[in-house]
């Protein structure tokens, strides 16, 4: 069977399983199978949280980013897992004891202010849309690359699947679907990593293989990589603080990702569905354990694929290049524009001469016709020895498209390791599982933010359950359509928007929730002032440096890490103002005391029956 | 999974109960702060701030700072969340037993 046939089979089977699970949960629900308050077991909730957490970006792009960045790629690993520790220790058990549905619920009730609730609603919706657009794009990319259908068709299929199980299944359906999705995605990630580790180092455990010697010449892999990088003009793979990634910048980005991650609304919501405070803690542990399987493997895949890519490309002639290169060249993820000597040269931008010598590029957001134009002009330039046409290398370098697309690391690893066609197909199913599981969780957050937090708690507290249910489903439908449109027509600044989402979560939500839980003294006005200071500072800095070309005046910290400074500003403003304003009301102080101890926690929110889902 | 305990027999204005809750909260905060210090040292410290210094040492085939940034910190994070769950759940049990004892002592004949 061809890779494409396997992919069709795997995608069809996995999608049927997801829909079947959603349908079964639905049937059980209407037949009154569930008892109110009966939660999801901690280990299953952990798996679902892990699938919810690991997005298309974690699955498809993270190993590639690490492969490109070397040491600095650790920012993402530490940021996303370290944020989870903050979530588990500072937020999860207390929010579980608080026991309402959403983050805006907590902010609104704790600070007794609908304005604060509204700020939280807007942040939650903004963060969720930013994310869900990326997931839909991920679905489209997987479909277009593996099944060679149009990216638009891929996004539409993804929209339809998510819509069906998010509106019919509700939280219960989504949770059990995510458990299945976790297994698909982790298998798809681990199998190629183990295979390539075994092939290069003889060790089946990638984390050990990464620190071992290569079978080919007995030199430790990382040492060999550092050597190759130095020879070819790339920044060192293992040495920290190279280029723009200074110590302060790496620190701030890591911290901003940590605090931003802890404030992600679709993951926090998970902890409301477990049975007890004790189960919330266990479920946090299981989730991080399941997440760490992928996060510990990604850097190993990154190092193996990096070595393999340089080794099998640099200095080769067209006939010597491996099959995977030819396969992925068609997608524009990797391009070769020769200088006329017939040998591929893959070099870094360590100095001007090496940067000019590089012949490996990517298509980026360029359309197929634009790429063909560039390649034709380049060929004419070669044929006429520079008299006619244009040097395509200069054109692409000027557009910042040097080097292959980072997604190729995960997509092509199975082929690099010479794995069978069905494993390559499994990676496609895994990428889809990662994208769909995250998208469904986010859509529920958007739906609950609008139907519960905005409509029921602010606009119309007298709304009936039926009204809220209808509104919740309509919002999911609308959100799927908007997310799909954003996936089909991605704004050109996706990466900045994601940095913005994390920065905003770090600078707004995180301090407000932490102080709301741990301080009985902080009241409405200081908390609001802190949130506004954090948001305004972070937003203006990011917008200023991305769109207005503002220099990074704040200690050279780039827009990705500025959320850490915004967070510090938020804490500082809130704590400085707090003594000048009266303490919160007696009711709020009692509420804080009650979430501090686990005794008498209410039953789990029966979220599958909650009207806003 | 244990059911949520019934605390309706405990009077929250009882000074002994106030004391017990206070003690519980102080211990909880102490555990949390200790674990967060480890979190900061392993992740932001060894993984970022002193990574270049640690890179002079090796752990097998890994430069140590690089290992902390891409492997070690994550292993520490998983261990921290496990230790937190174990310690806090034990603390919850002790607290529950303590409250029950106070509840029984205060109203020995209140049970039907």
Residue given tokens 């954003």 in the structure block = A486
Residues A188-214, mean pLDDT to the nearest whole number: 93
A330 has a chain B CB within 8 A of its CB: no
Domain coordinates of chain A in residue numbers?
3-308+414-609, 339-404
**pLDDT single digits (tens) B79-112:** 999 999 999 999 999 998 888 888 776 544 444 3
**Minimum mean pLDDT range among A183-192, A205-214, A261-270, A435-444:** A261-270
Q: What pLDDT score was predicted for residue B68? A: 94
Looking at residue A610, its pLDDT comes to 42
Q: How many structural domains are present in chain B?
A: 1
As a three-state string, the secondary structure of A526-562 is HHHHHHHHHHHHHHHHHHHHHHCCCCCCCCCCCCCCH
3-state secondary structure of B87: helix
Query: pTM for the full model?
Result: 0.89
Give the confidence band of A28 by pLDDT, cuts at 50, 70, 90.
very low
User: In this structure, what are the phi and psi dihedrals at residue A25, rounded to the nearest 5 degrees?
Assistant: -60, -35
- Residues in chain B with CB shorter than 8 Å from the CB of A212 are 60-61
In the prediction, which pLDDT does A492 show? 53
> Any chain B CB within 8 A of the CB of A197?
no
CB of A603 within 8 Å of any CB in chain B?
yes
Residue A214 forms contact with B (CB below 8 Å): no
How many Å is the Cα radius of gyration of chain B? 22
Sequential DSSP letters for A129-159: HHHHHHHHHHHHHHHHHHS---HHHHHHHHH
pLDDT per residue over A339-398, tens digit each? 888 899 999 887 888 888 899 998 877 777 888 889 889 999 988 888 888 888 988 988
CB contact under 8 A, B66 and A213: no
Residue B24 belongs to what domain range?
Answer: 15-105
Flag whether pLDDT at A278 surpasses 70.
yes
Per-residue confidence band for A30, with pLDDT thresholds at 50, 70 and 90: very low
Is B21 in contact with A89 (Cβ distance < 8 A)?
A: no
Residue A38 has pLDDT above 70, yes or no: no
Kindly identify which residue of chain B lies nearest to residue A289, measuring between CA atoms.
Answer: B78
Q: Rounded to whole angstroms, how far apart are CA atoms B75 and A367?
A: 43
Q: What is the pLDDT of residue A81?
A: 93
Query: How far away is chain B from the Cα of A474, in angstroms, using its nearest Cα?
Result: 36
CA A159 to chain centre: 18
Listed range (A157-166, A303-312, A517-526, B37-46) with the worst mean pLDDT: A157-166
Q: Which member of B36, B77, B99 has the closest CB to residue A84?
A: B77
> What is the SS3 assignment for A208-249?
HHCCCECCCCCCEHHHHHHHHHHHHCCCCCCCCCCCCCCHHH
CATH of domain A3-308+414-609: 1.20.1730.10
The confidence score (pLDDT) of residue A529 equals 93
Helix pair angle (A562-577, A524-547), 10° resolution: 160
Q: Mean pLDDT over residues A567-593, rounded?
A: 92
At A534-552, the pLDDT tens digits run: 989 998 888 888 777 777 7
Do B24 and A597 make contact, defined as CB atoms within 8 angstroms? yes
Q: Do the domain assignments include residue B94?
A: yes
C-alpha triplet A244, A564, A263: angle, nearest 5°: 125
Q: Each residue of B19-68: pLDDT tens digit?
A: 888 899 999 999 999 999 999 999 999 999 999 999 999 888 899 999 99
pLDDT confidence bin for A555, thresholds 50/70/90: confident
Give residue A203's pLDDT band: very low, low, confident or very high (50, 70, 90). very high
B23 within some domain: yes
Maximum Cα–Cα distance across chain B: 71
Q: What is the pLDDT of residue B111?
A: 41
Cβ <8 Å between A82 and B61: no
| Helix, strand, coil shares, percent, chain B, to 5 | 75, 5, 25
CA distance A368 to A335: 12
Nearest beta carbon to residue B43 from set A78, A597, A598:
A78
Output the CA angle A31-A32-A34, nearest 5 degrees: 130
A contact residues 265-284, partner B, Cβ 8 Å cutoff: 275-279, 281-282, 284
Residue B4 to residue A84, Cβ atoms within 8 A: no
pLDDT at residue A606 is higher than 50: no
Q: With 70 as the cut, is the pLDDT of residue A276 above it?
A: yes
If you search the block for the tokens 């992740």, which residue do you land on?
Answer: B43
- Nearest C-alpha in B relative to A279: B1
Residues in A closer than 8 angstroms to B71, CB to CB, are 207, 210, 296, 299
Q: Cβ distance A448 to A117 under 8 Å?
A: no
- Predicted confidence (pLDDT) at residue A436 exceeds the cutoff of 90: no
Please state the φ and ψ torsions of residue A146, each to the nearest 5 degrees.
-95, -35
Percent of chain A beyond pLDDT 70? 92
Query: Chain-wide mean pLDDT for chain A?
Result: 84
Domain membership flag for residue B93: yes
What does the block give as tokens for A274?
A: 């477990």
**Phi, psi for A331 (deg, rounded to 5):** -85, -10
Mean pLDDT within A295-302: 95
Residues of chain B contacting A227 with CB distance shorter than 8 Å? none
Token output for A252: 């701030």
In this structure, what DSSP letter does residue A402 have?
B
Integer CA distances (angstroms), A353 to A232, A357, A358, A467, in order: 11, 6, 9, 67
Are A247 and B49 a contacting pair at CB < 8 A? yes
The pLDDT score that the predictor gives to residue A33 is 29
Residue A167 has pLDDT above 90, yes or no: no
Share of chain A above pLDDT 90, in %: 28
Of A47, A596, A514, A450, which Cα lies nearest the Cα of A273? A47
Is B95 in Cβ contact with A597 (below 8 Å)?
Answer: yes
Q: 3-class DSSP state for residue B46?
A: helix
CB A49 within 8 A of CB A192: no
Q: Considering only CB atoms, which chain A residues are within 8 Å of B63?
A: 222, 238-239
Report the complex ipTM: 0.89
For residues A82 and A73, give the distance between their C-alpha atoms in angstroms, rounded to a whole number: 14
A238 inside 8 A of chain B by CB: yes
Distance from CA of A244 to the nearest CA of B (A): 15
A43-57, A290-304, A399-413, range with greatest mean pLDDT: A290-304
Which is nearest to A438 in space by CA: A224, A269, A223? A269
| CB–CB contact B74 A292 (8 Å) | yes
Burial class (CB in 10 A: 0-12, 13-18, 19+), A398: exposed
């Amino acid at each position: 069977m061809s890779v494409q046939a396997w992919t069709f089979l795997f995608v069809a089977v996995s999608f049927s399983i997801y829909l079947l699970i959603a349908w079964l949960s639905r049937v059980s629900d209407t037949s009154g199978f569930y008892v109110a308050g009966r939660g999801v077991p901690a280990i299953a909730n952990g798996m679902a949280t892990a699938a919810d957490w690991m997005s298309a970006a974690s699955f498809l792009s993270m190993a590639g980013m690490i492969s490109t960045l070397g040491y600095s790629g650790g920012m993402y690993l530490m940021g996303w897992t370290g944020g989870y520790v903050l979530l588990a220790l500072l937020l999860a058990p207390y929010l579980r004891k608080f026991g309402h549905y959403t983050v805006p619920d907590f902010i609104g009730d704790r600070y007794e202010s609908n304005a604060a609730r509204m700020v939280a609603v807007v942040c939650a919706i903004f963060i969720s849309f930013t994310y869900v657009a990326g997931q839909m794009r991920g679905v489209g990319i997987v479909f277009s690359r593996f099944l060679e259908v149009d990216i638009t068709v891929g996004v539409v299929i993804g929209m339809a699947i998510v819509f069906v199980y998010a509106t019919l299944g509700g939280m219960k359906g989504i949770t059990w679907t995510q458990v299945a999705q976790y297994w698909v995605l982790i298998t798809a990630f681990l199998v190629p990593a183990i295979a390539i580790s075994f092939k290069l180092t003889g060790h089946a455990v990638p984390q050990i293989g990464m620190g071992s010697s290569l079978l080919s010449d007995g030199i430790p892999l990382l040492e060999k990589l550092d050597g190759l990088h130095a020879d070819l003009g790339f920044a060192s793979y293992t040495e920290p603080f190279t280029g723009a990634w200074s110590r302060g910048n790496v620190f701030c980005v890591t911290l901003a990702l940590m605090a931003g991650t802890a404030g992600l609304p679709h993951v926090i919501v998970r902890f409301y569905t477990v049975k007890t405070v004790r189960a919330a803690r266990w479920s946090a542990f299981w989730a991080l354990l399941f997440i760490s399987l992928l996060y510990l493997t990604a850097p190993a895949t990154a190092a193996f694929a990096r070595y393999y890519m340089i080794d099998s490309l640099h200095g080769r002639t067209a006939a010597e290049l491996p099959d995977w290169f030819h396969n992925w060249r068609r997608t524009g993820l990797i391009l070769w524009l020769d200088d006329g000597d017939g040998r591929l040269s893959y070099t870094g931008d360590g100095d001007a001469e090496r940067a000019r010598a590089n012949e490996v590029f990517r298509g980026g957001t360029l359309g197929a016709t634009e790429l063909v134009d560039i390649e034709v002009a380049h060929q004419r330039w070669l044929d006429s020895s520079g008299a006619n046409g244009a040097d395509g290398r200069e054109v692409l370098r000027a557009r910042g498209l040097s080097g292959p697309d980072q997604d190729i690391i995960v997509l092509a690893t199975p082929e690099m390791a010479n794995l069978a066609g069905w494993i390559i197909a499994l990676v496609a199913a895994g990428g889809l599982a990662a994208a769909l599981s995250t998208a469904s969780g986010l859509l529920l957050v958007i739906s609950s933010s609008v139907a519960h937090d905005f409509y029921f708690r602010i606009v119309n507290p007298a709304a009936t359950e039926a009204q809220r249910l209808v509104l919740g489903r309509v919002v999911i439908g609308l959100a799927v359509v908007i997310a799909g449109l954003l996936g089909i027509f991605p704004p050109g600044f996706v990466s900045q928007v994601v940095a913005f989402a994390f920065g905003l979560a770090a600078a707004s939500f995180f301090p407000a929730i932490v102080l709301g839980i741990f301080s009985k003294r902080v009241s409405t006005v200081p908390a609001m002032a802190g949130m506004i200071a954090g948001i305004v500072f972070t937003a203006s800095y990011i917008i200023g440096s991305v769109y207005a070309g503002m220099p990074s005046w704040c200690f050279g910290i780039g827009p990705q890490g500025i959320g850490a400074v915004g967070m510090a500003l938020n804490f500082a403003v809130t704590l400085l103002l707090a003594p000048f304003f009266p303490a919160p009301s007696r009711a709020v102080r009692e509420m804080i005391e009650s979430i501090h101890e686990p005794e008498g926690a209410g039953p789990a929110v029966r979220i599958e029956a909650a009207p806003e889902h | 999974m244990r059911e949520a305990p019934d605390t309706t027999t405990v009077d929250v204005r009882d000074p002994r109960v106030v004391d017990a809750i206070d003690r519980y909260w102080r211990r909880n905060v102490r555990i949390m702060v200790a674990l967060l210090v480890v979190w900061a040292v392993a992740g932001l410290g060894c993984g970022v701030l002193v990574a270049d210094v640690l890179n002079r040492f090796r752990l097998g085939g890994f430069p140590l700072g690089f290992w902390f940034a891409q492997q070690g910190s994550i292993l520490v994070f998983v261990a921290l969340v496990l230790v937190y769950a174990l310690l806090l759940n034990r603390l919850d049990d002790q607290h529950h037993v303590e409250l029950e004892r106070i509840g029984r002592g205060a109203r020995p004949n209140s049970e039907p």
